[in-house]
Amino acid sequence: MSPIANQITMTVAKLAGTNAVLVSEDVVEILHSYQGDFDDLGIGYLITRNYGERANEAVNELMSHLIITIIIIALMLVFALGWRESLIVTFSVPAILAVTLFTAWVTGQTMNRITLFALLLSLGLLVDAAIIVIENIHRHLHREGVEDKEMSELLIEATDEIGAPTNIATLAIILTMVPMAFVGGMMGSFMKPIPYNVPVALIASLFVAYIFTPYLSLKLLKKPEHKHPNTTKEEEK
């Protein structure tokens, strides 16, 4: 019978605020650098849990869901409104996430699984305001008498028209997340990124919808040419 081998379990913990992916990669690299010494001493090791890999998988999952969401929204808007309107809404999603992640970085928050879950949770809500704004702009551009108004005037009018109901709807969603911030104990610490990041993402979606979307509409959209009802066939020729 072979002798019973001694086993040691070693846990490497990262400091708060450090990147788990980079820390885990450094630890694995150090182990590989001593592989020759381990072989000479007859020592083997087995990595039973790598939090860095799990964190990296969570980030990849977020990116894949983000891409899928953008593609689905883009295809739906292409058939509903047009490819230009679809392009504008598609650009709004990365802009909203950039504002959200920048805000999290400024406030000292770190990316973890719960933070990523909060962003995944808000992905479906981020484009609501942008879709509402672009749909109303599309409707105003195809109304009669549009040729008598300036493009900038139409964009301001269309955006302002849906401002109040969009603000109230977004505020209602934010208020459903706020109570999570007052949960105490271990569950409160676990859920804290959700009431912090989801409201920030929704507020960022409003700013992007009211500023970014009308600006891109001014650059990409054009007023359709409406024929005057009294125009005769000879005049059209």
- pLDDT, position 234: 46
pLDDT at 188 over 80: no
Cβ-based burial of 155 (10 A; exposed 0-12, middle 13-18, buried ≥19): buried
**pLDDT higher at 149 or 234:** 149
* Angular region, 17: left φ>0, alpha ψ -120 to 50, beta rest: left
Task: Give me the chain's average pLDDT, please.
Answer: 77
- CATH number corresponding to 53-220: 1.20.1640.10
In our burial notation (b when 16+ CB lie closer than 10 A, e otherwise), range 159-170 reads beebbeebeebb
**Domain boundaries of the chain, sorted by first residue:** 12-49, 53-220
pTM value is 0.68
In our burial notation (b when 16+ CB lie closer than 10 A, e otherwise), range 90-122 reads bbbbebbbebbbebbeeeebebebbbbbbbeeb
Residue-wise pLDDT for 130-168, tens only, equals: 888 888 888 888 777 777 778 888 888 888 888 888 889
State the residue for tokens 């379990």: 9
Instruction: Calculate the alpha carbon distances from 56 to 86, 100, 110, 178 in Å.
Output: 30, 19, 14, 28
Ordered alpha helix ranges (H), 162-212: 163-177, 185-191, 193-207
4-18, 84-98, 134-148, 198-212 — most confident range: 198-212
Find out whether 223 and 154 touch, Cβ atoms under 8 Å.
yes
